[in-house]
Amino acid sequence: MRVIKNCTSVIIMAMTAATAAAAPPSIVTKGSGTAAACASCHGVDGAGNAQTRFPALAQLPQTYITKQIADFKSGTRSNPLMTPIAKAISTEDAKAAARYYASLARPQTQPTSGDPIVVARGENLAVNGAWDRQVPPCFKCHAAGGLGVPPVFPPIAGQHASYTVSQLQAWKSGARTNDPQKLMTTVAKNLTDDDIHSVAEYLATLGIQGNKK
Ligand code: HEC
Ligand code: HEC
């Protein structure tokens, strides 16, 4: 009986994910009021855009997405494009968009430098940290391969390098202050520009499905 029940819930979960992926909510495709459609910048597939620094949203935990929208609203995080949208949308629309993007698999992004020395340097920092400068390994919190530990630690693998750089710089400069217990501020303050560039390049080379490309 228990087995049957478990099977049923797995099937229901799979169906829910499939339905959500097949039918994006109207906030994603059409927007609402003054808020442009999420898909116009983040894509209907949640891939974002490396050139314009629009982050990939696919596969971010649902509560991480709603937290970020609340943070743009409250001002602990700010961006000229995203802040007005976060302020304009309803809690229901934020939830619907979050549920949808969380259900999608993150597409592979294109690394920009491709320089193996830069990538290897980034990998070393992500895996081993730099203890001489009090930098813990990124994967200590973001899990092996940067796959994330929901709901608090987002996946960082497969994200656009340009976006990862901008966020690490924002924490370093004190522009982004929404991290719980200043976990990211503490890390970013001790990163050099070289660290930031190389770790962002490395993370962009990773796929997110168990790190297969
Ligand atoms: C005009 C372009 C644009 C539109 C439309 C847009 N966004 Fe964004 N969004 C951005 C940019 C740019 C950022 C990066 C902000 C930063 O650098 O801090 C962002 C960041 C985000 C983040 C943070 C992602 C992360 O990894 O922390 C979330 C969540 C998000 N957007 C959700 C949405 C949702 C939901 C919608 C639709 C209601 C939407 N966005 C519509 C441009 C846009
Ligand atoms: C002590 C734990 C911890 C360590 C170590 C850590 N992080 Fe984080 N990181 C976090 C938390 C918590 C968040 C979520 C912040 C929030 O809620 O906005 C985060 C968020 C991020 C984000 C934002 C993702 C997004 O979608 O906006 C990036 C990028 C990031 N971390 C990169 C790194 C890198 C690179 C390293 C290693 C140099 C690292 N982190 C090490 C805890 C950590």
For CATH 1.10.760.10, the residue range(s) in the chain are: 2-102, 116-205
Tokens 């993007």 map to which residue?
101
**Alpha-carbon gap, residue 209 to 74, rounded angstroms:** 33
| Ligand nearest to C-alpha 56 | 1
pLDDT tens digits, 12-31? 444 444 444 569 999 999 99
pLDDT tens digits, 118-159? 999 999 999 999 999 999 999 999 999 999 999 999 999 999
Q: Whose CA is nearest to atom 9 of ligand 1?
A: 82
Whether ligand 1 lies within 6 angstroms of the CB of 85 is answered as yes
Whether ligand 1 lies within 6 angstroms of the CB of 89 is answered as yes
Q: How far is the CA of 72 from the centre of ligand 1 (A)?
A: 9
Mutation test of ligand 1: which of 42, 44, 152, 172 has the most ligand atoms closer than 8 Å to its C-beta? 42
| Ligand nearest to C-alpha 39 | 1
Measured from the Cα of 196, ligand 2's closest atom is: 35
For the chain, give the percent of residues with pLDDT over 90: 82
Whether ligand 1 lies within 6 angstroms of the CB of 147 is answered as no
Q: Whose CA is nearest to atom 1 of ligand 2?
A: 183
pLDDT confidence tier of residue 114, bands split at 50, 70 and 90: confident
* 196's tokens: 């930031």
Mutation test of ligand 2: which of 69, 141, 195 has the most ligand atoms closer than 8 Å to its C-beta? 141
| The CATH number, out of the four listed (3.30.470.10, 3.30.43.10, 3.40.50.720, 1.10.760.10), of the domain defined by the range 2-102 | 1.10.760.10
Q: What fold, for 116-205?
A: Cytochrome Bc1 Complex; Chain D, domain 2 (1.10.760)
**pTM of the entire predicted model:** 0.91
Q: Look over the chain and give the mean of its residue pLDDT values, rounded to a whole number.
A: 89
pLDDT tens digits, 74-98? 999 999 999 999 999 999 999 999 9
Q: How far is the CA of 25 from the centre of ligand 2 (A)?
A: 28
